[in-house]
Structure 1
Amino acid sequence: MSQNNTRYLASLVLKRVLDDNRSMTQALAELPEALSPSQKGQIQDFCFGTLRQLARYSYYLNQLTEQKLSAELNPIRYLIAIGMYQLDSERVADHAALAETVDAVIPWQMPKMKGLVNAVLRSYQREQESLAKKADATGLQVTSSHPQWLISKLKKAYPKGFKKIIKANLAHPPFWLRVNTLVNSAEHFSEQLKQADIEFSQDDDAILLEQAIAVDKLPGFAEGSCAVQDKAAQQAAKLLNAQAGERVLDACAAPGGKTAHILAASPDVKEVVALDIDATRLNRVAQNLTRLKADANLIAADASDDKWWDKEQFDRILLDAPCSATGVIRRHPDIMYLRRETDIAELAKLQKQILDNLWPMLKPGGTLLYATCSVLPEENKQQITEFLQQHKDAKLAPIFDSETASDPGWQIFPGNKNMDGFYYARLVKQA
């Protein structure tokens, strides 16, 4: 059996994520280079779809077997879950989903498990409806795959809306593009999409495709015509609103989408400094900027200290702070399994350190835009409220008239106008 069996490789990715605590991005990057784009796409679909419903599939498995599978048999557990996902999604014929999933046992060198995989999936075929009803009665931890600690935090923060957030987290994410106005116009790019028979809707420079496609199929992508960027992330450059002649800092800049957007939205700025602690990720910023025909001063350094700073203050600072990423679970379902409750307090502490460190780097009269892709108040409005209390020269610059110092910023929830979950708060330094 080929080691390139996509079900086998998908189960290998899941094992690396769930057993070895690797991110999905890391695990997918380790797939064999010889795989075709369609094979890679299928593996990604298997992994993302299965992770979104893994708790449910694990419940089904436990109902269909007399004994729970040991940890050594986790690859078999993941293969069965992939098979269940295929039967649910109806993207392939049932007999193909069964046969190819059973065959994927062979590369794991567990031939005796073929019978179990076949039997469980056939039983699932017969009992799908009754099993689903049983699972629905067990509660959100099974039906949503969200850990209980996250369900509790969401319920406490948003008692009337937490179920809607959870539902949105399990949905397939939209495919947003930003037209790169440094080399293209929205009108020209939309015409190119029409000529390529790519269906889309448009909101200024933001383009929403009806279906996700490979970026090499996008008109002029290699030449910098557009960037893949969620509409929520596209708000950063607009809210920062850098002006001609200003010096701008993009802190925690990787992978560089917001850096490039700042430069496209404000091409006459004096300088944009893109700062990131990870030199490898900063290389990706450089690659993205090169493709998008944009130029920034890249610095690999820690935003929580000032050793890198040349003592020249910035007119505007974007802090896209390290966060729990609980607003982008639909794009990264591995977050549900890799994130821990203890991470939240540690991240909030780091966010505060970075905010405190960057504030002296802002000119009097300057603007700092704080951003996260989180939906948790500890990382968002609570962070900003405390900062305003502790820095008397900081003043809230409301995005909306309804904002107050005790309820600051713009919390975007996943699925709101097809956007990812995001938070923005804008601060001005008083002279």
Structure 2
Amino acid sequence: MAKPGVLVRQLAAEALAEVVGDGRSLRAVLPEPLRRLADPRDRALLEAMLFEACRWQPRYERVLAGLLDRPLPAKQRRIQALLLVGLAQLEALRMAPHAVISSTAEVARAWKQPGMVGLVNALLRRWCRDEATIAARCEADPVARLAHPRWLIERIRSDWPEQAETLLAANNRPGPLWLRLHPRAGSVEDYLRALQAEGITAAAGPDGWPRAVCIDPPVAPERLPGWSEGQVAVQDAAAQAVATALPLSPGLRVLDACAAPGGKTAALLEVEPALDLLALDRDPQRLARMQSGLARLGHAPVMRAADAARPGDWWDGRPFDLILLDVPCSATGVIRRQPDIKLHRRPADIDALCAQQAALLEAAWGLLAPGGRLLYTTCSLLREENAGQIEAFLERHAEAERLALPSHLGHPCGSGRQRLPGEQQMDGFFYAALGKPR
């Protein structure tokens, strides 16, 4: 059996090969290798290696191309992934070179590829010897320097020319842990004192986020006071804001149209428990997981597995006073939390997503009561999915009213507001509010 230091690197490389080679999401791949590690320190190391290898993969692929005499054959994708994990340990995590190189190279032997042990050893040693020179070459290559695919760099520079460099850099920094405090947990000040007693560094959210708490550096949620009692939930502050961007009051009929994984549903109910709320999602499995998560928090809304874009399949004909439409999107505003987005997203995906978003907007508009409000949100940075999508909708629907949103939500962006990643330590998020005349 492999030694612990070798095993954790072996599991990281095998998981990364699935993410890079098979196109699986990091979230889907991660649970299995974590299950095989008993020591919490090894589990934390595996997560760190995987996230940093994904985060910097565009850079490290360029580095390896310069270090290798010729590309590795496709059958050696695990060795390629192992080298990415090795570089992540040396550069991003700044781990001791001797231990990194020795244990990482030994993974090849554990895979019964003794001929690759020397290659891994030599390439990682060369990085250590020539790091300054290699890093200087990376500075001249935007893909290597910014660690994003070229098409995404160009799209972000086009959409956000003044903020692009800062934005791309923010995507490459891990985010803090944001919490949403349940009303039954007491005041934010009391909860901050409870965190302090546990040795956890935390701060209250800024003005406009009355129940938000920021923990930096992050800790495992299970360590949090009141976690098992459902007093607190993990949710970035940018996503929490949907509950304050809608005028909630008792008895209003509300549709959360793309509800899973349920954080926004819970946020709405914690502001106003007496909503007549329907949580809709077309994926029954995600809805089942959502139901479990909401139960921990004491919420039991009406839930239905159905496609919001096809109301003829599920709608009872009663219009909704408020609709939250958090549409599927490129997720380019949450790359810091899901770095494998860089590996999987393609330019063609944006066209398909925009078509899906437009269809959802059209369907939701037909469900909204006169005098009602629709809040359209994404975790995207791309104007095509955000301001461009809303402007196209308004051109089709002259009757729709642009509704103002509070300035603390972000930069003015067309008829909505855009928060960029890293601003006030939050994720990237877009909000637009539309009203239907009476």
* TM-score, normalised via structure 2 length: 0.94
One-letter amino acid of the counterpart of residue 233, structure 1: A
Paired with 2:433 and 2:130, the residues of 1 have a C-alpha distance of 53
Q: Does 1:142 align with 2:144?
A: yes
One-letter amino acid of the counterpart of residue 110, structure 1: Q
Percent identical across equivalent pairs?
Answer: 39
Aligned length: 429
Q: Give the C-alpha shift of residue 38 in structure 1.
A: 3.1
Instruction: Name the residue aligned to 1:133.
Output: 136
Paired with 2:411 and 2:199, the residues of 1 have a C-alpha distance of 46
1:54-95 alpha-carbon deviations (Å, 9 max, x no partner): 222222223223222122112112211211221224553221
User: What SS does the aligned partner of 1:19 have?
Assistant: helix
One-letter amino acid of the counterpart of residue 218, structure 1: L
Q: Give the C-alpha shift of residue 404 in structure 1.
A: 13
Instruction: Name the residue aligned to 1:70.
Output: 73
Q: Give the C-alpha shift of residue 183 in structure 1.
A: 4.5
Which of these residues, 8, 19, 22, is aligned with residue 20 of structure 1?
22
User: What SS does the aligned partner of 1:177 have?
Assistant: strand
Which of these residues, 197, 201, 220, is aligned with residue 195 of structure 1?
197
Q: Does 1:209 align with 2:215?
A: yes
Paired with 2:145 and 2:94, the residues of 1 have a C-alpha distance of 22
Q: Does 1:423 align with 2:430?
A: yes
Q: Give the C-alpha shift of residue 427 in structure 1.
A: 0.8
User: What SS does the aligned partner of 1:233 have?
Assistant: helix
Contact 2:61–2:84 (CA<8 Å) still a contact in 1?
Answer: yes
Change (3 A) 1:154 1:120: same
1:78-133 alpha-carbon deviations (Å, 9 max, x no partner): 21121122122455322111111011113333221001111111111111111101
Paired with 1:429 and 1:182, the residues of 2 have a C-alpha distance of 35
Contact 1:75–1:108 (CA<8 Å) still a contact in 2?
Answer: no
Matches within 5 A, 1:79-118: 79-89=82-92, 91-118=94-121
Q: Which moved more, 1:239-248 or 1:275-284?
A: 239-248
Q: Does 1:44 align with 2:47?
A: yes
Task: Give unmatched runs, 5+ long, in structure 2.
Answer: none
Paired with 1:401 and 1:81, the residues of 2 have a C-alpha distance of 42
Instruction: Name the residue aligned to 2:298.
Output: 293
Paired with 1:426 and 1:285, the residues of 2 have a C-alpha distance of 25
* Runs of 4+ that moved beyond 4 A: 400-406
Paired with 1:246 and 1:75, the residues of 2 have a C-alpha distance of 54
Paired with 1:407 and 1:84, the residues of 2 have a C-alpha distance of 41
Instruction: Name the residue aligned to 1:380.
Output: 386
Instruction: Name the residue aligned to 2:360.
Output: 354
Change (3 A) 1:379 1:362: same
Change (3 A) 1:406 1:412: closer
One-letter amino acid of the counterpart of residue 345, structure 1: D
Task: Give unmatched runs, 5+ long, in structure 1.
Answer: none
Change (3 A) 1:183 1:299: farther
Instruction: Name the residue aligned to 1:277.
Output: 282
Contact 2:185–2:226 (CA<8 Å) still a contact in 1?
Answer: no
Which of these residues, 211, 227, 241, is aligned with residue 235 of structure 1?
241
Q: Give the C-alpha shift of residue 12 in structure 1.
A: 1.1
Change (3 A) 1:406 1:225: closer
1:263-322 alpha-carbon deviations (Å, 9 max, x no partner): 0011222x2111001111001111111111112111001111011111111111100100
Paired with 2:56 and 2:188, the residues of 1 have a C-alpha distance of 38
Q: Which moved more, 1:65-74 or 1:313-322?
A: 65-74
Contact 1:52–1:144 (CA<8 Å) still a contact in 2?
Answer: no
Change (3 A) 1:311 1:27: same
User: What SS does the aligned partner of 1:268 have?
Assistant: coil
Q: Does 1:414 align with 2:421?
A: yes
Instruction: Name the residue aligned to 1:396.
Output: 402
Contact 1:3–1:9 (CA<8 Å) still a contact in 2?
Answer: no
Change (3 A) 1:401 1:230: closer
Contact 2:12–2:33 (CA<8 Å) still a contact in 1?
Answer: no
Contact 2:51–2:339 (CA<8 Å) still a contact in 1?
Answer: yes
Which of these residues, 348, 364, 373, is aligned with residue 370 of structure 2?
364
Q: Does 1:327 align with 2:333?
A: yes
User: What SS does the aligned partner of 2:228 have?
Assistant: helix
Paired with 1:74 and 1:293, the residues of 2 have a C-alpha distance of 45
Instruction: Name the residue aligned to 2:2.
Output: 2
One-letter amino acid of the counterpart of residue 124, structure 1: W
Instruction: Name the residue aligned to 1:54.
Output: 57
Contact 1:250–1:273 (CA<8 Å) still a contact in 2?
Answer: yes
